[in-house]
Amino acid sequence: MSSHLLTQHIYSTDVDGAREEIFRFLKYKSYVKVIYFDGWDRFGASAVLRSIAAVLPSRRTTPELCFDRIIYIDCSEWKNRRAMQRAIAEALELDPSVMASLDEQDEEDDFNEVDESSRNEIGIVGQAIDQTLRDTKLMMIFLNGSDEEVDVGIPLTRYGNNVMIWTFSRRCLELNHDRSRVENKLRYTHAILGFRDSIKELSLSHFCGLLHQEAATIVARNPCMLDINPTIVADCCLYELFLHYNFHMATNFDWVSHASNYWVCDAIIQGYTARDISNALH
């Protein structure tokens, strides 16, 4: 954990309010360049970051919120560091020749049966990213689906112009009441923001509001789900949380991986949509 980690509490109980509090933090703490947002015990964090990505481009009248480039990198379905680099390169619209080097290296690794999880960044792509961002003010919004904080390969010094807001974000929803476990993983982060109290302090209506925003984020990243009612996705997410925290914690059986069976049996969803939702959530 960084010895100079700044902690800031969030008091809002909804996505829009949390987003505005983060904007105020960016305005008055402009020297902070790498910000981890923990949400409400990690719950709802990805929805807030998605909202930041949508709204930030319209805040150009505030100098601290004005960026030359804003990129939203969703690596909730974590593969490897190279896939993260590819997502950044695509967002920056790098030259096709640079993108081709990623394809060529992947093909070579496929041929040599290199384990996918161990495929790291490519130097020439990193150089192209660095050159593209030189003399540019960048905001990177990053959903990290891995178990560790990662160096994203972008200059993020206290005296530079670039800023990154990120969170740990898995495909399946989870709650994490022990923030110290997250803090112990942070090596490059300058500040951690999160709800002041436990998520248990939220009212039912506020929790449901966050749940529906999280469901909307899941739908947005999965084109196959665009025709599925977001309320159904929210119900599935809630049922998944119920299975995990009421049964998995007691039995250590992986109930969540079988959640789609229970969705069908309990008539939460019907027919082919069960498979689409299951694939998106796991």
More confident residue, 277 or 54: 54
The values of phi and psi at residue 268, to 5°, are -70, -40
User: What mean pLDDT is reported for the chain?
Assistant: 86
pLDDT tens column, 93-130: 999 999 999 999 999 999 999 999 999 999 999 999 99
At 218 the pLDDT is 83
At 140 the pLDDT is 98
At 257 the pLDDT is 60
At 254 the pLDDT is 58
Crossing angle, helix 81-91 and helix 96-111, to 10 degrees?
160
State the average pLDDT over residues 166-184: 78
pLDDT tens column, 138-159: 999 999 999 899 999 998 888 8
3-state secondary structure of 10: strand
DSSP category for residue 118 = G
DSSP H helices, the chain, are 15-28, 45-55, 81-91, 96-111, 123-133, 179-183, 204-220, 230-243, 249-251, 259-265, 273-281
What CATH architecture does domain 6-201 belong to? 3-Layer(aba) Sandwich (3.40)
At 237 the pLDDT is 80
Per the rule left: phi > 0, alpha: psi between -120 and 50, beta: everything else, 220 is: alpha
Percent of the chain with pLDDT over 90: 56
Q: What is the pTM of this model?
A: 0.87
pLDDT tens column, 194-252: 998 778 888 999 999 999 898 888 888 877 777 777 788 888 788 777 776 665 555 56
Q: Which residue ranges make up each domain of the chain? A: 6-201, 222-281
State the average pLDDT over residues 168-179: 71
DSSP category for residue 40 = B
Q: Taking 60 as the threshold, does the pLDDT of residue 3 lie above it?
A: no
At 262 the pLDDT is 61
pLDDT tens column, 24-60: 999 999 999 999 999 998 889 999 999 999 999 999 8
